[in-house]
Amino acid sequence: MFGILRAELRLAHEMFSGETSFERTDAIATQQEWEFAKAFLKGEPPPSLGTSVDEIIFGTRNVWLPIYHVSVNSDYSVFAPGLRRDKAVADASLKQLADLWVEKRPTFNDILQNELSSYGSAMRQALSAQISRTQAAIVSDDPASVLDIRFGLIGRYARLSALFERNGVPAKDAFKEVLKFLEWPGNQQQPAHKIFAYLFAALGWRISSGQRPAMNASILNDFSAISTYAPYVDAMFVDRQCASLLKQGRLRSELSYKARIFSMSDPQEFLDYLKGLGDAATADVREFAYELYGAET
């Protein structure tokens, strides 16, 4: 049953988006990192990044949606064991962290400062783990392991090393300089990293204060989506827990992003927002919508 609902939801997304889709969250984070690396190389302060949604989408928005839609359902079952293994590890790690928060009772600021300052160490650990897994898969002679190889971070930092070389860093020193860049305090201002850190700190503070919401590693995917897309889009519909975290005092006062946040905590607020968009449509748009799609004017 869940598989059917998931397929219908994916189809609804495809129908509403037409031929337009978002960049992946990791691709957007990589681009932000790239811009910060260029500032680091020039000895400049952290850059102010653009927030136009056109920077993070494929296709053309604000065009009439096609009447016909062709959808192809790919079978990703071959990757399922690896995905389940990753999720199980992430679930266990998050539970251990939650237990530690309960035991140590860190403040919001304790968790926030730890998350903001851990950009370099987290990236180094992730890169090291990916290299180790890749090497193990290659020598394993196991086709399933080879299919599960991921080169994203390896390629990401190879390209950064090449950027440093083009800016005068000797090839033998390029990766060392990249590692220095990862420890640059300016990275704390990367939008995706900063918003994620605040969300994580808000969650940790709630748990350390005695609340223990039901959660699993999927909440980290929610955090990634919010922290990546919120600076660019006009509105986001998120789950109740994430919406509640975003209303926490310091997240409201210290984070700056474009998106209005909606959730099932107040569905009428979202419906009013959609109605406002419809009411703002010009007479020409209403007429064309009726002619193309049979929509009410």
Nearest to 59 by CA among 28, 13, 9, 17: 17
The residues near 185 (Cβ < 8 Å, ≥ 6 apart) are 117
pLDDT of residue 1: 41
| Tens-place pLDDT, residues 243-296 | 999 998 899 999 999 999 999 999 999 999 999 988 898 888 888 878 777 755
Question: Percent of the chain beyond pLDDT 90?
Answer: 49
- In whole angstroms, how far apart are CA 279 and each of 151, 224, 234, 274, 282? 47, 32, 17, 9, 8
The structure's pTM equals: 0.81
pLDDT tens profile 168-204: 999 999 999 999 999 999 999 999 999 999 999 999 9
